[in-house]
Structure 1
């Protein structure tokens, strides 16, 4: 996996990587602010770019917490796989902006002997989808439609760049509460896409599919689609459908809210027990429930979100 990543980054991102050489140190470019959150991935701080006052998020990763490493051209040391994936998605100080539904990495720094700092855009005002649902309860279906559509389109972009996220969940979706636009964040569990099965998983267990629980392997798209089914259930019902391994392998969610038959149909399709019975990302977007989400509906969604604040 690492060898193929080195080749791909070299071909697509070599200018960004070379641009890092000789740049000014972190403390001359950014100011570190208050702690925003922490977990197994590391810690995230508010921050500011000194040159123009841009508000950013700064992710600090200790080297001993990194599960996967990669090598970049013109870089003597290994870097966390997350940095390599974000570069491939279009991040970096001299790159064009990535897909609007994927968080933008602005820069990264190595702290010798300590770890790494990753600098991200920080949309304002924003809130992760977990907190968004916690504060508002179950979402109206048109809002859930808009969020899911954007998430799927962002995942299609990741797929086109040969990347699988592997930890799609409400905490890893950032909501702009002014516009209703969302971004996928945290590629710390991500990997290069491959057609064969994966036997490692660093994502969130209650979002993982039956094949992982039972056999410790899975394929990229069925894993992603299962997670999307859990996420959609979470959005329209206000909580995730499965809490235990037993619940997951039974694959029979119990709907706790009154939702449309079309929405139930899409959830159940994504949560099909057999991986081969689940839809593709393209088929999700073509589902009748998804096709009711158009531009006019988007305007209504933005208004509903703003009024709910």
Structure 2
């Protein structure tokens, strides 16, 4: 049923929202379903001009939570398209998934054509297979994620759903990319009063007052993510645990790493570090030389393991 639906999707529909004369179906082939989430479905795909493997994200118009207007466009587009296009226009970043193209197809909503690098596995599955990550490997991933977030914030984009399922790992190089901007928004200094991210990664201020600021939300989510990497699971499941903001370490974790996690998971938003302060933390700085020297060994150790592509 799903493959049939994907085939019909490939054959039908007219492009009505993109400055491209050729319709989607003459430029791309849409294959089987890769996954389905809260904001849409993702299919495998191929660019017909050169055979490039891509991922095609389909978003039904009635499920779009936020809209945006692009320069020179009459009709609004999903905020996700506007954010990804903004990052693309400034050159992109190796730690952020790239949008190659987008279309509005009558009857199907919006189609986002995304890069689909080979040999990638999402970080949720990567952690699940190993139960927990060595601190050196967690540091390697964490530094890349924070640097990618710095790039996004510098160009006016906040992701708002940083979690292991939205990070993918290149199993050959152990490089990571942030994916899925369906919960993203333009960065602003004033508080946000809406949230479409993941509850167990949300901070106490959202649970208590349905309000948060971009950087403090991001840093809290990073604290949850780092705990998840070194302990094998997230620290909080229920609202009361989030409000207590006291992670319990069930594995041996260095004092420096625990210190950074506690700092990111500070109950008061103003007491959490900035992204720059995270990168300057002793745990982050202490691993730089070791990471460079042993990175090759890590790649060799992990690259032969089973992968699940995007």
TM-score strictly above 0.5 = yes
The 3 A distance-change label for structure 1 pair 208 and 96 is closer
Q: Does the residue aligned with 1:199 lie in a helix, a strand or coil?
A: coil
Work out which structure has the larger RCO, using CA pairs closer than 8 Å and 6 or more positions apart in sequence.
2
Structure 2 gaps, min length 5: 1-16
Query: What is the aligned partner in structure 2 of residue 8 from structure 1?
Result: none
Alignment partner of 1:261 out of 240, 244, 255: 255
Q: Does the residue aligned with 1:107 lie in a helix, a strand or coil?
A: strand
Query: How far is 1:77 from its partner?
Result: 1.2
Give yes or no for contact 2:53–2:116 (8 Å, CA) kept in 1: yes
Q: Does the residue aligned with 1:120 lie in a helix, a strand or coil?
A: strand
Q: Does the residue aligned with 2:30 lie in a helix, a strand or coil?
A: strand
Alignment partner of 2:64 out of 58, 62, 66: 66
CA distance, structure 1, for counterparts of residue 297 and residue 276 of structure 2: 25
Which of structure 1's runs of 4+ aligned residues deviate more than 6 A?
none
Query: What is the aligned partner in structure 1 of residue 209 from structure 2?
Result: 215
Query: How far is 1:297 from its partner?
Result: 3.7
Query: How far is 1:114 from its partner?
Result: 3.0
Q: Does the residue aligned with 1:257 lie in a helix, a strand or coil?
A: coil
Query: What is the aligned partner in structure 1 of residue 288 from structure 2?
Result: 293
Give the number of equivalent residue pairs: 287
The alignment's TM-score, normalised by the length of structure 2, stands at 0.90
Matches within 5 A, 1:67-146: 67-90=65-88, 97-146=91-140
Alignment partner of 1:189 out of 171, 183, 186: 183
Matches within 5 A, 1:264-279: 264-279=258-273
Residue 26, structure 1, aligned to residue 24, structure 2: yes
Give yes or no for contact 1:167–1:204 (8 Å, CA) kept in 2: yes
The alignment's TM-score, normalised by the length of structure 1, stands at 0.90
Deviation string, structure 1 residues 251-270 (Cα, Å, up to 9, x no partner): 01110111111111110110
Query: How far is 1:74 from its partner?
Result: 2.2
Q: Does the residue aligned with 1:89 lie in a helix, a strand or coil?
A: helix
Give yes or no for contact 1:142–1:301 (8 Å, CA) kept in 2: no
Query: How far is 1:97 from its partner?
Result: 4.4
Query: What is the aligned partner in structure 2 of residue 306 from structure 1?
Result: 303
Matches within 5 A, 1:8-19: none
CA RMSD of aligned residues (A): 1.4
Query: How far is 1:296 from its partner?
Result: 2.1
Q: Does the residue aligned with 2:288 lie in a helix, a strand or coil?
A: coil
Give yes or no for contact 1:97–1:104 (8 Å, CA) kept in 2: no
